[in-house]
Amino acid sequence: MNATHRIPERTPTPAGGPTPRGLLTSGVDLVSIPRIERVLARYGDRFLARIYTPQEIARSRGRSATLAARFAAKEATAKALGVGMRLMSPGGIGWLEVETLNEPSGKPYLVLHGRAAALAKAQELTLWSVSLSHDAGIAVAFVVAAGP
């Protein structure tokens, strides 16, 4: 017997607004590693301090691919929250409000601060997962968030 399951339609919620219970949301972003290398060469520590937390900088050990993947994670998290980055959107989040750290095993995880944490709480997004990768000059981050 074949059963057809219809996904109920949902009314879109305003950016950063309440999220229907049981929602699963995601964001993905790609970043050119050579682009990060060019920005690093031009702006150096000023760029690092504006975009990355001290722990992210320490973890990257100057590796542009690692920095690019963490940059992508910030953008992907903003997309999962439905708001974008503050630079592009007045309702967005700041660069330092999303931090990508690593468990001792190397598995990445997210720590949200400030407005990003407040938006996640307002949307009841309590479970977060991030996957990072890089190859052939491109870094990618895929973020998934879920609520109860």
Domains of the chain: 24-146 (3.90.470.20)
**What pTM did the predictor assign?**
0.83
Alpha helices, H only, 1-148: 33-43, 45-51, 54-60, 64-81, 114-122
pLDDT at 148: 84
Mean of pLDDT values over 97-125: 96
Higher pLDDT pick, 119 / 21: 119
pLDDT at 14: 53
The per-residue pLDDT for range 2-60, each reduced to its tens digit, is 333 333 444 445 555 554 556 899 999 999 999 999 999 999 999 999 999 999 999 99
CA distance 37 to 9: 44
pLDDT at 23: 85
